[in-house]
Structures are given as C-alpha cells and as structure tokens.
Amino acid sequence: MTMLNETALAGKVVLVSGGTQGLGAAIARTAARCGAEAIVVTGRRPEVAAGLIDQLESLGSRALLVKTDVANLDEAVASVQATIDAFGRVDCVVNAAAATSRGTLLDTTPELFEQHVNINLRAPFFIMQAAVRDMLARSAKGTIVNVLSISALTGSPILAPYAASKGGLMSLTRNAAHAHRFDGIRINGLNIGWTATDGENVTQRIFHGAQDGWQEEAGKKLPAGRLGDPDEIADMIVFLLSDGSGVVTGAVIDWDQTVVGGQD
C-alpha cells in the first residue's frame, strides 16, 4: 500500500508504457490509489494484464489497456494518441517498457543493439515528443518520469547495449527537462537497481539458469538483505509525477543499494 496522499494524482490522466506487469503494473496501481482520473497501460501481451484493468477501476480510476509493442515506432506514438482519444489529454507519462536481454561489447550483434535502442531510447523519445506536443497545444503543465537503470552509469559487462541505451535515455531526460522548463513540463528519471519484478525473474532464469528461491539468495548479498520492491519504486515515481515533488525537473535519482563511486 502506497504511503502517498490519496489525492496526489487527482484529476490526472496517466500513461504507463510497459504497464501490463511488474514495475509498470505497480506504478499503475499506485497511480490509481493516488486518485488518478484515468490510467492507460500499454504492453505487447495484453493477456498478462488479466485483471489489472478491473483492479484499477475498482480503485476509482477509469482504465484502458492499449496493445503496444514500443519497438514499433508507430505503435509507440499511437499509444499517446489512444490516450488522448479516450480521455481528452495526457497529463503524466511513465516510460517503463524496457529490453533487458544480455550482451557484451564483443558479442552484441547489430540486431540486439538495435532492439535495445528502439525499446529503451527511441520509444521514450517519441512518446515524450507526442505527449509534450499535446501539453503545449493545451498550454497545460505536465510531468514525465523515465524509468532508467543504475546500469546507465556503467553497468555490468554483460549489459553493454542496455547500459548504452539507458545512458542515452538518462541524457535525454535532462535535455528534455531543460528544453521545457519554462513550459511547466517537469521531466525526471529514476536509476533503479536490482528489483524483484516478474521480468527480472524471467531474465534470471533464461540467461543465468536461476532456480526457485534465487531472489532470497541474491538478496542476502545486498545491504538491505533483499532486492528492491516494485511498490517502493512506484511510490517514488508517482511522487515525481505529482505536485508533491514541487519544482523538481531534470533530476536523475539513483534508487539503489550501492553508492556510485563508493569504495571500502
């Protein structure tokens, strides 16, 4: 349960890319608990969102699921227009969809690199473009949060294309925030660390042969004794979407248990 004010997003229309499961779904639920008027979630596989729309509506928000593969630029941009067509506007955007497949500098193919760039960088760029155009056309304020990664700051050798794409999105976040700072449009990002999401579970099993209980074992090696929780991250993201975060824009917050540059 969120610790945010239940009216933090009152009257807001929220678009969450990659919102059908994991962190994206947690963000959507938190937005609903914080009074969002309407929430649009997008994803490639609507079947994994079974029950989510009902959940959001039971929490008091109007809700819509838009089947979207953000690797397809037309579909990514169309998700913004679908939000506007359904609810008249878009007030808040969260770019949560991401590719996390593995690759090093030496074994990454052009196709894998392109996949990461298309999903992790190109899609957020043009989703933001479409949303900001709507905000400007209405002379309205708005907020955007990009889900980044602590890997944007360097990352593991096996995350080369992921780190490159998230690093680009980190820079884009600040660039766009600077460009629209006088338009009342605030844009921030969150460099999240290792988090216990559905997607991470699949990734660990596919690429690292993880077995049941891997989350607990991995957590024992971390300062907090556990992996990050999607609901905690969702609270931070909704806070950044809300007026509660004040004038903050262009901020990239490290949400992790490690301290960049720290040494023992």
* pLDDT tens per residue, range 81-122: 999 999 999 999 999 999 989 999 999 999 999 999 999 999
Superfamily holding 13-193+228-255: NAD(P)-binding Rossmann-like Domain (3.40.50.720)
Separation of alpha carbons 158 and 101, rounded Å: 9
Task: Specify the pLDDT at position 25.
Answer: 95
Provide, for the chain, the percentages of residues in helix, strand and coil under a 3-state DSSP scheme, each rounded to the nearest 5.
45, 20, 35
Angle at 239 (CA atoms; ends 19, 92), nearest 5 degrees: 50
Active-site annotation holder among 12, 61, 151, 162: 162
Query: Which residue positions in the chain have pLDDT lower than 50?
Result: none
Query: Among the options 17, 79, 166, 242, which is catalytic?
Result: 166
Using a pLDDT cut of 70, give the percent of the chain over it. 92
- Which stretches of the chain are assigned E, i.e. beta strand? 13-17, 38-43, 62-67, 92-95, 142-149, 185-192, 252-255
Which pair of tokens denotes residue 27?
């963000």
Other Cβ atoms within 10 Å of 111 Cβ, number: 7
Query: Is 149 in the active site?
Result: yes
List the chain domain ranges: 13-193+228-255
Residues 6+ apart with CB under 8 A from 4: 30, 33, 34, 235, 238, 239, 242, 244
Would you tell me how many other CB atoms lie within 10 Å of the CB of residue 82?
A: 19
Catalytic residue among 17, 61, 79, 149: 149
**Burial classification of residue 51, based on how many CB atoms lie within 10 Å of its CB (0-12 exposed, 13-18 middle, 19 or more buried):** exposed
Residue 151 catalytic?
no
Is 67 catalytic? The answer is no
**Tens-place pLDDT, residues 193-229:** 867 666 665 676 667 676 787 777 776 777 777 877 8
Q: What is the structure's pLDDT at 202? A: 67
